[in-house]
Structure 1
Amino acid sequence: MQAGWDDFRFVKAVADGHGLTGAAEALGIDHSTAFRRLGAIEKSLGARLFERHRSGYTATAAGQAMLDVATRMEADIDGFSREVVGQSDAMVGELRITAPTSFAGTFLMPILAEFSRRHPAVRLHLILAEETLNLSRRDADVALRASRGPDETLVGRRLTGVGWALYGAADRTFGPLADERWVGLSESVAGGLFAGFVQRRTAPERIVLSLNGVAGLREAIAAGIGIGPLPCVEGDADTRLQRLGGLEPELHTDLWLLTHQDLRRSARVRAFMDHIAAAMQPLRPLFEGSKVSS
């Protein structure tokens, strides 16, 4: 029996999910269905595709060969999809945007509202995530991304610098900062840049909470759990917080507006990127930390 595209897609989901549980979640099916599906594919091919281990599923030689084909097929389909969208001159259809979770509560929603009023036939799909989504796979069409250097496969523009500073609860008086309780971002964020910043400024036992996102970090500082670093656009706009010093140059980053190079000619992608860039101009002092929001 010849394997079809759905079989290749399923086997890749098993590999990506390191087992049937991950595959079932990704495909929206239950575990027993995934188990039967893999068994049926292996039986039809007359080959075992995965070795089962306590740590997960590992592809056999036959499984790896199938994965290689599935990966090429997926890349071709993604490329076709980007090409079709990239050639579209119509201001209609879906536009998928990804941005850090914290942006939803600061500046982004009014900008999206104005774009939607101007282009009512464009359906916006906003994906708020701290992780970096893959624009090549069209996990999103446009990304607002804090970075010191975007991927070379992407195109776009630098919108502004992003200044960082230390913050504490506004209703507190602070002594020597090294003696305070601290909160910060975890080692998994930005390669440990922010975790290292905190670790160099206080003793390990003074770091009482680590988080994986800026929105939670802001709330932790406002609740008085500890002091910690925040982007100024978040900290200065929150009346529950106070700055505890000047800008921290080692945490400075840039905010980029990015898309895949295949999508840059799409009318709705171009219109959205132009709209965001124009809307960001008056906000740059807030992001850079040179002006405290009233």
Structure 2
Amino acid sequence: MAEPFKNLAWDDFRLIKAVADAKGLPAAAAAIGVNHSTVFRRLKQVEEQLGALLFERHRTGYALTPAGEELVALANRLDEEITSVGRKLAGREPAPSGELRVTTPDSLLIHLLMPMLATFRERYPEVRLDIVLSNQPLNLSKRDADVAVRATDHPPENLVGRRVARIAWALYGRAIDFPDPAAATPEELEARNWVSLGDTLGTLKAVKFVQENVTPDRVAYKINSVLGLAEAVEAGIGIGHLPCVIGDARPSLVRLAPPNEDYAADLWLLTHPDLRHSPRVRAFLDFLAVEIARHRRFIEGEAGHQAEPPEAPPTA
């Protein structure tokens, strides 16, 4: 089996791994960007070349044979090695250029980062930005992203980066509903309708507060997006806790209480250790750290509506 094995290409290993992960051909074909018949034909050719079945075909899907398990284990090791070499080569680029994939939540992109990204592109036109909007941690070890901009008090231990600010949260309502927000009493706020992030984000202290202190019949609206939560408060569905970087940027909203330190979260710029010396990654991290520092009081809720949110550079 040695000679046939030597003739396998990396694409063959990718195909075998995709079928094993998907446990079927259609999903595997979609994962690697080919059609179903190509996967079927190529898998059959590989098995004939090896002289061994790699999968048992069942009505419920494709199950690995012992030979298939060995091939998938090797494919995983090759994938890790190729990814590692790619990261290290990316760190040797002579100047900031190429594609940079950045993952961040939609709320940070819209209310904080977008003007900064526009300025970065003006300064580094050879760097192409690929923005992945996600609240979930992507696998930077697998190059799902090069840089993560995250609000968290517990950044992953396998990443490196810097803490650039602390995002403050406060309780907000519509200015039209609260002409004198300082006069709003706890009893009045308790009697209002509330909006909140959903129970899937129940580890956040702002969500726990609503769960523990607001009666269920007063929680008029739940959503799993901070940006959507701000829209709900602005639409008058109810009052709710928001990051000050979002709430203070909207003139139609007012704070109904000072920022609560218990709800705050650190803002981190993160990357993989193998990428931190890449010119494009280093340029991006340094640039963003400086820009965020300029707006730190706004992010940390110290200046309220007196602070100006980031502005996009003027167009030519």
TM range (shorter): 0.7 to 0.9
Q: Which moved more, 1:208-217 or 1:32-41?
A: 32-41
SS of equivalent residue, structure 1 residue 245: coil
Tell me if structure 2 keeps the 8 A contact 1:186–1:192.
Answer: no
User: How far, CA to CA, are the matches of 1:191 and 1:52 in structure 2?
Assistant: 41
- Which of these residues, 256, 262, 269, is aligned with residue 257 of structure 1? 269
Q: CA deviation at 1:246?
A: 1.9
User: How far, CA to CA, are the matches of 1:152 and 1:29 in structure 2?
Assistant: 36
Whether 2:223 is the aligned partner of 1:217: answer no
- Which of these residues, 39, 49, 57, is aligned with residue 55 of structure 2? 49
Q: Which moved more, 1:180-189 or 1:273-282?
A: 180-189
Q: How many pairs align?
A: 293
> 1:189-240: per-residue Cα shift (whole Å, max 9, x none)?
4756554332112123333333222111111221122222211101111123
User: How far, CA to CA, are the matches of 1:77 and 1:15 in structure 2?
Assistant: 19
The amino acid that maps onto 1:167 is: Y
Matched with 2:313 is none
Tell me if structure 2 keeps the 8 A contact 1:233–1:286.
Answer: yes
Q: How does 1:71-220 map to 2 (within 5 A)?
A: 71-173=76-178, 176-189=188-201, 191=203, 194-220=206-232
- Which of these residues, 280, 290, 293, is aligned with residue 268 of structure 1? 280
Tell me if structure 2 keeps the 8 A contact 1:156–1:258.
Answer: yes
Tell me if structure 2 keeps the 8 A contact 1:170–1:241.
Answer: yes
- Which of these residues, 291, 299, 305, is aligned with residue 279 of structure 1? 291
SS of equivalent residue, structure 2 residue 290: helix
The amino acid that maps onto 1:259 is: T
Over 3 Å counting, the alpha-carbon distance change for 1:167 and 1:6 in structure 2 is same
Matched with 2:260 is 248
> 1:248-292: per-residue Cα shift (whole Å, max 9, x none)?
233211001111111111122111111111111121111111111
Tell me if structure 2 keeps the 8 A contact 1:187–1:193.
Answer: no
Q: TM-score, normalised by structure 2?
A: 0.80
SS of equivalent residue, structure 2 residue 241: strand
Query: In terms of Rg, which structure is larger?
Result: 2
Tell me if structure 2 keeps the 8 A contact 1:165–1:231.
Answer: yes
Whether 2:241 is the aligned partner of 1:229: answer yes
Tell me if structure 2 keeps the 8 A contact 1:89–1:268.
Answer: no
Tell me if structure 2 keeps the 8 A contact 1:170–1:222.
Answer: no
Q: CA deviation at 1:188?
A: 3.2
Tell me if structure 1 keeps the 8 A contact 2:140–2:272.
Answer: yes
SS of equivalent residue, structure 2 residue 156: coil
User: How far, CA to CA, are the matches of 2:42 and 2:256 in structure 1?
Assistant: 58
Q: Which moved more, 1:217-226 or 1:45-54?
A: 45-54
> 1:94-115: per-residue Cα shift (whole Å, max 9, x none)?
2222221112221212212222
User: How far, CA to CA, are the matches of 2:58 and 2:206 in structure 1?
Assistant: 38
- For structure 2, the residue ranges without an aligned partner over 5 or more in a row are 179-183, 307-316
User: How far, CA to CA, are the matches of 1:58 and 1:192 in structure 2?
Assistant: 40
Over 3 Å counting, the alpha-carbon distance change for 1:15 and 1:235 in structure 2 is farther
Tell me if structure 1 keeps the 8 A contact 2:195–2:232.
Answer: yes
Over 3 Å counting, the alpha-carbon distance change for 1:107 and 1:39 in structure 2 is same
- For structure 1, the residue ranges without an aligned partner over 5 or more in a row are none
Tell me if structure 2 keeps the 8 A contact 1:116–1:122.
Answer: yes
Tell me if structure 2 keeps the 8 A contact 1:86–1:266.
Answer: yes
User: How far, CA to CA, are the matches of 2:207 and 2:64 in structure 1?
Assistant: 35
User: How far, CA to CA, are the matches of 1:60 and 1:202 in structure 2?
Assistant: 55
Tell me if structure 1 keeps the 8 A contact 2:202–2:208.
Answer: no
SS of equivalent residue, structure 1 residue 140: coil
Matched with 1:291 is 303
SS of equivalent residue, structure 2 residue 130: strand
Identity of aligned residues (%): 45
